[in-house]
Structure 1
């Protein structure tokens, strides 16, 4: 299976970088072909420009600035997101990836004012997310990253797609044993993904 891994953290020595490596190791162990998209390392521009917004519904024009990313999404059989949760949401670079790449004609079509999901090549979805706050704090605000991943992103991929959400809450108070156990869980989950 061809797996697109989208990683969104600017620090190569972070715990998120370690979870990213665990994802890559686990997927390699399972024998998948991995397309590793490190948004920061690749210099992805998350800003949707005025021109892009004006041409948003013109599929021939709106794809051009992000054509290589669109091609990578369309070539994938599975999608794995690896990111921290900042201010109860995705990092801006990951939100911008969805804004600029999950376009009309890529992840959905508009027909008679209705949205029709089209990203049916994606048959598996996973997210590995780290939260500074506790699960309780995340739940108080509705845990937006979990909902966006498991509802909005899930809604545009194959209708029978398997979805896995691996969160590590309370990073601000976790100890080395908790972090190590999470890395092992991520690697094990990806090795059977």
Structure 2
């Protein structure tokens, strides 16, 4: 399977960096073709320019500023996202990726005023993420990051696609053993992906 791994953490030696490396290593060891897209290492520009916004709905020309990323997304059979939750959302660089790459004609079309998902080449999605706060705190806020994946991203990919959300909550108080157990779980999930 061809897997696009989208990584969005600026600090390579962080726990998020370790999770990213683990995912890539285990997916490759399982025989998958891994396209490792480290948004920070690739210096991805998350800013949607005025010109891009004006041409947003021009299917075809709208992809030109981000063509290499669109091609990588279209070539993938599966998507693995590895990022920290910041301010109950995606890091800005990942949000910018969605804004600039998940375009009309790429991840959806508009037919008779209705949005119709079309990223049907993606048959599996996994998210590997960390939260600074507790699960309870996230639930009290409605856990927007989980909803973005399980409700919005799920609707964009192939109908019936498998979507796994692997979250380590309460990083602010986690211990080495808690982090180790989470890495073991992520390793098992990537082995079986």
- 1:31-46 to structure 2, matched below 5 A, reads 31-46=31-46
In the TM superposition, residue 140 of structure 1 has moved relative to its aligned partner by 1.1
SS of residue paired to 1:68? helix
Residue of structure 1 equivalent to 2:85? 85
Residue of structure 1 equivalent to 2:65? 65
Moved over 4 A (4+): none
Residue of structure 1 equivalent to 2:15? 15
Residue of structure 1 equivalent to 2:181? 181
Number of equivalent positions: 193
Quote the Cα distance in structure 1 between the aligned partners of 2:160 and 2:87.
31
Residue of structure 2 equivalent to 1:51? 51
SS of residue paired to 1:125? strand
Quote the Cα distance in structure 1 between the aligned partners of 2:51 and 2:145.
28
SS of residue paired to 1:35? strand
Instruction: Note the alpha carbon deviations across 1:150-190, whole angstroms, 9 max, x for none.
Output: 11111010002001000000000000000011111111100
Please tell me whether the aligned partners of residues 133 and 170 of structure 2 are also in contact (alpha carbons under 8 angstroms).
yes
Please tell me whether the aligned partners of residues 19 and 82 of structure 2 are also in contact (alpha carbons under 8 angstroms).
yes
In the TM superposition, residue 100 of structure 1 has moved relative to its aligned partner by 0.3
Unaligned runs of 5+ in 2: none
Quote the Cα distance in structure 2 between the aligned partners of 1:69 and 1:185.
29
Residue of structure 1 equivalent to 2:6? 6
In the TM superposition, residue 29 of structure 1 has moved relative to its aligned partner by 2.3
TM-score by length of 2: 0.99
Residue of structure 2 equivalent to 1:169? 169
Unaligned runs of 5+ in 1: none
Quote the Cα distance in structure 1 between the aligned partners of 2:26 and 2:13.
19
In the TM superposition, residue 60 of structure 1 has moved relative to its aligned partner by 2.0
Quote the Cα distance in structure 2 between the aligned partners of 1:35 and 1:19.
16
